[in-house]
């Protein structure tokens, strides 16, 4: 006679597997949301993490030392691409890309975030700013 065995899987194990799959999915979504551009000036992620205890002022100084263009040049490049009024300019490390983020309000009242390469002054990306 052939006996059929049933193996029970505890509900907690199923919940853990579902949670792990969700975490993997979220991680892959975040990776796919990384910039669609690469700047000429890069900073290794591990270097940024190693210096994570530094203050924002210290990080800003480090970024400024890597930039080859200044804020005036970055602003001019952004305005040449997207005419309007500059609201804000920041030098950022965007997933290892050193870029100026220039926020511009256009004549149609749309806010654009223009990414300018901190090394060459080239406009790398323009996107609609979405406020949370």
Please give the pLDDT value at position 118: 97
Where is pLDDT greater, at 51 or 92? 92
Name the residue ranges covered by the structural domains of the chain: 40-128
Torsion of CA 66, 72, 74, 76, to 10 degrees: -160
- Under a CB-based contact definition with an 8 Å cutoff, are residues 35 and 116 in contact? no
Give the pLDDT score at 59.
82
Does 82 have pLDDT greater than 80?
yes
Q: Find the mean pLDDT for residues 118-131.
A: 92
Cβ atoms 104, 91 nearer than 8 A: no
Over residues 22-72, the pLDDT tens digits come to: 444 444 434 446 788 989 988 875 444 455 555 677 888 889 999 999 999
34 vs 17, more confident: 34
Q: With b meaning 16 or more CB within 10 Å and e meaning fewer, what string describes 9-19? A: eeeeeeeeeee
Q: For residue 22, give the 3-state DSSP assignment.
A: helix
Domain 40-128 part of CATH 3.10.450.40: yes
Indicate whether 89 pLDDT > 70: yes
């Amino acid at each position: 006679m052939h006996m059929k065995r049933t193996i029970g899987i505890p509900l907690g194990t199923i919940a853990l597997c579902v949670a792990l799959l969700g975490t993997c999915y979220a991680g892959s979504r975040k990776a796919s949301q990384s910039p669609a551009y690469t700047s000429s000036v890069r900073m290794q992620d591990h270097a940024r993490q190693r210096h994570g205890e530094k203050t924002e002022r210290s990080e800003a100084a480090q970024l400024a030392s890597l930039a080859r263009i200044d804020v005036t040049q970055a602003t001019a490049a952004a305005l040449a691409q997207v005419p309007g009024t500059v609201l804000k300019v920041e030098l950022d490390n965007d997933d290892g890309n050193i870029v100026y983020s220039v926020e511009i309000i256009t004549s149609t009242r749309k806010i654009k975030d223009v990414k300018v390469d901190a090394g060459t002054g080239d406009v790398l990306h323009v996107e609609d700013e979405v406020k949370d």
